Amino acid sequence: FWLCLRDREGTFVGAQCAKLYDWQDSNFKIEAESLRFVYADPQASAFPEEMITCTAPSAERVSGLVCYSGNAWFHPQVRGTGLAKLVPLLSRTFGFHFWDTDITCALAVPALVEKGVVANYGYSRVEPIIDWRNCFFGDVQLYLLSKPRQELERDMARSLEGLS
């Protein structure tokens, strides 16, 4: 699914997508390093010599029914308004509700971690390092963000308490 954000006038100001992965017999490390996390058919779709090396400590624990909740974009006029806290929480909550997920994960570039933006996303684990080489945007290092089901349930309960 994806969330489309519009302002009062109906102007598009942001979006976030989510995808369900069934990794009952696998995990993020295996799926990332095989490139199946990115491509349905890595042999046919990957760039020459494209590869991912994943050494994030919890990558092997990102397994079961996994909601990848990431790839958000916000228009500059709405950045700094709190949407970076609200939208990831909504995305994780919808993923949990619709898919009964075991864990939610996302990826982030180091600049977002260094600027403190990722702290707003609400993930309990923020771990380097995913090293992605020779991909469509060159070479990049990423952080793996994750939040297990039990922590997500606790976050949702706290959010509901705040509404009463």
**Tens digit of each residue's pLDDT (9 = 90 or more) over 63-101:** 999 999 988 889 999 988 988 888 988 898 999 999 999
Q: Phi/psi at 23 (nearest 5 deg)?
A: -115, 50
- State the chain's mean pLDDT as an integer: 92
Question: Cα separation of 130 and 59, whole Å?
Answer: 10
pLDDT of residue 161 exceeding 80, the answer is: no
What band does 122 get if pLDDT is binned at 50, 70 and 90?
A: confident
Query: Would the pLDDT of 164 be above 60?
Result: no
DSSP, res 128: E
pTM exceeding the 0.75 threshold for the entire prediction: yes
